[in-house]
Amino acid sequence: MVRAPADVLRWIAANGEAPHAGQYEILRSDAQYKLAVCGGGFGKSWTASKIAESYALTGNRSWEISTTYDLSDRIFDGCWDTFAGRGWIRRPGSSRGDRKILLPGGGIIEGKSADHPDSLIGQTLDHGDFDEAATYGGDIFWGKVFPRIARAHGTAFVITTPRGRRNWIFRLYQSILQGHREKSPAWMRWAVWKLPSWVNDIAFPGGRNDPEILAAEQRYRDAGMDGLFEQEFGAEFVTLHGRVYKRWSEANNVVDHAVAERGIRDWYLGIDWGHRNPCAMLVIGRTHEGDWRVVEEFYERGRTPAEILAAVVEIRSRYPITTIYYDPEDPGQGAGVRSAMPRGVAVQAAWNDTDPGRLAVATQIGRKGGLLVSRNCKNLIDEIEDYHYPEESERRETESPVKVHDHACDALRYVIATATRGEQSHVRPARHA
């Protein structure tokens, strides 16, 4: 049986912290199950970490679940830092690397990954935090974890940015609202919120008209991604449709090879691995003005890792490439490329956060001269022109683009998104005193 958690608001105050108004509404709720649909920068991870801490303080077991282990660290690390700062992580078995906290009073907090469902097998569970839950299937919640929580009469906190209307989070949101209207006993156990980014008045003191919010809105609009702004910042359930890169046109973005090669200062190679699917590699340059040029493509199916490596070496012999970004799904092939490159060539896994990555590419496409592609890169050009969100007839769980013929698009995204990551205007995380 779950022990009543510590008073979370009192615990937060004891740590010299303070929630903003939106977080306060969530934290003060005594609902058994909670769903919070929030914009980026709301402070989702901090909120979840405080709830997890309050349960661990009274000897309960909590899991912090996200799409990957690395993403679960956003909550787990907050808990670790809080308890380590008080000198409370002393029990044998506690390990930051293994994502496990064991407190003297018996409380346990563990970081878990939805893409490793075997890690979700275990005993009954007192509390679960489900971070960015729209990015993984409802089977993780309903099939793997919720039964363990229910057997313990435990609690759950589901918190996420929305990902359209095709997934389990939207269905859950609608079911809770309808259940509340009908006074259904089962659904009355749930509390639900939809909270845009600007509710966080610590990060965005100007609210909806905060300069950072307005700048982000303009950037999305310039890139032809207005709907994505409403999703990422407004916490709206948006149905994305049509072409992903709406500002792309052959007249503005495709040039002769000689034009594409002019004025390049920095040289990159983007790699999307493939065997049954094509392996796509793009030679990409950046000019002194910060514009992007795609000069050459390698696009072949059925190549072995050794043959792909040989192609990388051959391409590197013809271009002064100093940075290679590769698909992080296969770190082994990345290590092979790294070992074959001379000193001075940086080889690293690409940043693979897809929505901001596509925004980074769309921003360059929308700028005059921001992205020019050699007309010799026929596969990349064809992919960009066909890159689209699913139609209503294509039943899918997410609002991601259709995952067909997107290999060169991915290689392009790896380079531009990773190289410009520090330059992009991101939502600031919630800050707490």
Mean pLDDT (the chain, rounded) = 92
Query: 374-392: per-residue pLDDT in tens?
Result: 999 999 999 999 998 877 5
The answer to whether residue 98 sits within a structural domain is yes
pLDDT of 240: 80
The residue from 160, 175, 199 where one domain ends is: 199
The answer to whether residue 237 sits within a structural domain is no
Query: 223-271: per-residue pLDDT in tens?
Result: 999 889 999 999 999 888 788 999 999 999 999 999 999 999 999 999 9
CATH number at residue 313: 3.30.420.280
**Where in the sequence is the domain holding 381, given as residue range(s)?**
250-419
Domain match, 322 and 388 both: yes
Query: 176-198: per-residue pLDDT in tens?
Result: 999 999 999 999 999 999 999 99
The answer to whether residue 281 sits within a structural domain is yes
Burial class (CB in 10 A: 0-12, 13-18, 19+), 62: buried
Per-residue pLDDT, averaged over 315-340, amounts to 96
The answer to whether residue 220 sits within a structural domain is no
Domain match, 341 and 269 both: yes
Domain match, 195 and 254 both: no
Reported as a pLDDT band with limits 50, 70 and 90, residue 425 is low
Per-residue pLDDT, averaged over 326-353, amounts to 95
Domain match, 177 and 258 both: no
The answer to whether residue 213 sits within a structural domain is no
The residue from 159, 179, 199 where one domain ends is: 199
Domain match, 286 and 355 both: yes
- Residue whose structure tokens are 């729209």: 134
Window from 31-35, 49-53, 404-408 with minimum mean pLDDT: 404-408
Domain count for the chain, please give it: 2
Domain match, 70 and 142 both: yes
Domain match, 159 and 275 both: no
In terms of Cα–Cα distance, which of 111, 109, 14, 18 is closest to 72? 111
The answer to whether residue 293 sits within a structural domain is yes
Domain match, 415 and 270 both: yes
The answer to whether residue 426 sits within a structural domain is no
The residue from 184, 199, 214 where one domain ends is: 199
Per-residue pLDDT, averaged over 349-368, amounts to 93
Per-residue pLDDT, averaged over 153-160, amounts to 96
Per-residue pLDDT, averaged over 277-287, amounts to 96
Domain match, 185 and 285 both: no
The answer to whether residue 215 sits within a structural domain is no
